[in-house]
Amino acid sequence: MSDTGVTLKKNEDFSEWYTEVVLKSEMAEYAPIKGCMILREQSYAIWEKIQEVFNRKIKETGHKNVYFPIFIPESFLKKEAEHFEGFVPEVAWVTEGGNTKLEEKLAIRPTSETIIYATFAKWIRSWRDLPIKINQWCNIIRWETKATKPFLRTREFLWQEGHTAHVTSEEAEKEVMDILGEYKDVMENYLAIPVLVGVKTDKEKFAGALYTTTLEAMMPDGKALQMGTSHNLGQNFARVFDINFIGEDEKEHKVWQTSWGISTRLIGALVMVHGDDRGLVMPPRVAPVQVVIVPITYKVADSAAILAKAKEILDKLKVKHITTVLDNRTEYTPGWKFNEWELKGVPVRIEIGPRDLKQDQVTLARRDTYQKTTAKMDEAVQATEKLLEEIQKNLYAKAKTALDEKTTTVQNYDDFQKTLKNKGGFIKAAWCGNSKCEEKIKEETGASIRLKPFEKEKNTANCVCCGKKDGEIVYFAKSY
């Protein structure tokens, strides 16, 4: 068992548990390149689900998918020195092709603003060319020097980056919020992970943006995880890349822009939030396999009849578009199969044994609570559908309770430090708005301001750091 099953406890050794689950569930494995991972079938299928859901959403709202080159000439990045400078140590370069040194070195994209916006400048002439709303699914390279962690921090990862250009500031503003709303829907209603939404502080925002909106989730170890961002770029890039258009007024204007992204990081959050001591727990709406049928035919006389029933249910579930696997391998015992499918997080297991056959029923086992129930054969599909919905709801509700439990309001710096040390999580506290206080707190406690909530709290309080009156309530946390 120790070879294949999870040996560490989520509550005791969270970080090691996480790695063990990721590896043993065959989500990912380390690649023979430092800081890189192999995404195996198990995790790539989840990525495809996320793509499916998000593609549908953005296409419905008039976005189109495109693909830009992986290489970005150095001169492009230098044009935007303001946001590029801080990132220089993270850029990987190509300097040679074959045996020839390149005249200009090429960055392997760390993000694609510069190459995409240089192209926008060519595409856009008049207001009739707007808006442009494009998205690309691609890989990204950032030469991380900090310790890497599967899905959360690797030198290469997959993401989508959306880039839009608009006639008016209002349109860009609406786009930023629309996308944020779609992200929230993906995270909460598909991944079953509740998120806080709000705006980053000036210190934490993307340097190229007017403002950065963010979605933040809470992990079981008390650290926050940024799940996605949506930026209002204003006319910052339009100025640098000369993205101008002739308006209906026949005058020249600069476009208003947005950019936004989510990445394979979300898969890491999924493992952390829902996983347990037996392994992964997949929310039904993104589970690569939603139902596994295990016929209990091992050394059983009725095995042919049991298998026939299993196939009957398999076909019925397929008709309902429920992704189902019939595990009729004969070389493993039912118990061994249970463990394996639990490790992989399959939400519902249907067992059919001799007793079930006799009583014209099936046994349903749910992955989230381990509860077992039975259903009559002709109600099995309906019962399964209902159970999948319940599991989806329950996983979200559990995660929401955990988030609420890990959110603490404090009035003074002493409580701030104690809470952070003993409990972690989000700390709601008043902040005067001065980045000096923000930096001091980060230095002394390791916690940063994760976001300023959109829904401003009516209450104000004294800044938790300097004591100044009428501070704004913000969320602090240590983070990944």
Give the binding site for ligand 86X (CB under 6 A).
77, 83-84, 87, 90-91, 110-111, 113, 142, 161, 206, 229, 231, 259-261
Closest approach, Cβ 110 to ligand 86X, in A, equals 3
Cβ closest to ligand 86X, residue 141 vs residue 270:
141
Buried b (16+ CB within 10 A) or exposed e, 118-156: bbbbeebeebeebbbbbbbbbebbbebeeebbbbbbbbb
Query: Rounded distance, CA 239 to CA 234, Å?
Result: 10
Closest approach, Cβ 285 to ligand 86X, in A, equals 24
Cβ closest to ligand 86X, residue 21 vs residue 134:
134
Is residue 138 within a helix (H) or strand (E), and if so which, with residue range? strand 132-141
Cβ closest to ligand 86X, residue 20 vs residue 161:
161
Q: Which amino acid is at 316?
A: K
Give the number of C-alpha atoms closer than 13 A to the C-alpha of residue 453, restricted to the C-beta side. Answer: 16
Decide: 107 and 72 in contact? Cβ < 8 Å: yes
Closest approach, Cβ 178 to ligand 86X, in A, equals 15
Which residues are CB-neighbours of 383 under 8 A, at least 6 positions away?
364, 373, 375
Q: Comparing C-alpha atoms, which of 135, 180, 143, 194 is closest to residue 159?
A: 135
Query: Rounded distance, CA 54 to CA 365, Å?
Result: 30
Closest approach, Cβ 38 to ligand 86X, in A, equals 23
Supply 451's token pair.
């976001």
Closest approach, Cβ 258 to ligand 86X, in A, equals 9
Supply 1's token pair.
């068992």
Closest approach, Cβ 90 to ligand 86X, in A, equals 4
Is residue 224 within a helix (H) or strand (E), and if so which, with residue range? strand 224-234
Closest approach, Cβ 262 to ligand 86X, in A, equals 8
Cβ closest to ligand 86X, residue 227 vs residue 322:
227
Cβ closest to ligand 86X, residue 258 vs residue 324:
258
Q: What share of the chain is helix, strand, coil (3-state, %, to 5)?
A: 40, 30, 35
Pairing between β-strand 92-97 and β-strand 71-73 as defined by DSSP bridges: unpaired
Q: What are 163's strand-pairing partners?
A: 134, 259
Supply 205's token pair.
């925002």
Cβ closest to ligand 86X, residue 104 vs residue 331:
104
Which residues are CB-neighbours of 123 under 8 A, at least 6 positions away?
129, 132
Cβ closest to ligand 86X, residue 285 vs residue 450:
450
Closest approach, Cβ 170 to ligand 86X, in A, equals 21
Cβ closest to ligand 86X, residue 175 vs residue 276:
175
Is residue 245 within a helix (H) or strand (E), and if so which, with residue range? strand 244-246
Cβ closest to ligand 86X, residue 14 vs residue 137:
137
Closest approach, Cβ 286 to ligand 86X, in A, equals 21
Cβ closest to ligand 86X, residue 233 vs residue 380:
233
Closest approach, Cβ 91 to ligand 86X, in A, equals 4
Decide: 255 and 124 in contact? Cβ < 8 Å: yes
